Amino acid sequence: MLSAEQSLLFVIDVQGNLYESMHDKLFLLENLKKLIPGVMVFGVPVILTEQIKIGATIPEIAGLMSGVQPFTKGEFSCLGNEKIMDHLKGLKKRQVIVSGIETHVCVYQTVMDLLERGYEVHLVADAVSSRTRGNREIALERMVQEGAKLTSTEIVLFELAKTAEDPRFRDIFKIVK
């Protein structure tokens, strides 16, 4: 199970026109708006990325992450970027929660690289998307076959809380209801 002390969250490329072309984009946004503040309640660090040439992170997401500076990348895999990789190593976390777009491109390649490097990957199925449902589904299946753990926004948040007696649970309950 996830541990707040060992986890970090990737929010990959939720940007401008790319976001606008996502399959079921409002469902994606609804879950990201729970996931991001939810993990922050537990002090889980967030790595925000932006793919070059497609604009800034959408305001609804950027506004949730005060003080989190995005990493700009040209690579599809976040781990192909030296600055992101150095930051990831510096955090010294072994559990990586992954969200963002597109499931079959940047999310997929990042997850494959994380698994190859021995990270425990928790892929938030309701917080990733692609332009087509088919590409999303195929990518999810491939990542699970390779060892990623499929999860959901609420599973992540309740795993981090572990108990209703956690003083932060009230904040999580407000976020998910």
Q: Quick one: DSSP state of residue 57? A: B
3-state SS class at 1: coil
Residue 65 · residue 32 · CB < 8 Å: no
73 is catalytic: yes
Among 34, 78, 93, 106, the one annotated catalytic: 106
24 is catalytic: no
Q: In angstroms, what CA-CA distances link 160 with 3, 6, 35, 90, 110?
A: 6, 10, 11, 22, 23
Among 73, 78, 93, 113, the one annotated catalytic: 73
Residue type, 121: V
CB burial readout 101-122, b (16+ within 10 A) else e: bbbbbbbbbbbbbbbeeebbbb
53 is catalytic: no
State how far the Cα of 150 lies from the Cα of 65, in Å rounded to an integer: 24
Among 13, 34, 78, 113, the one annotated catalytic: 13
Catalytically active residues, by annotation? 13, 73, 106
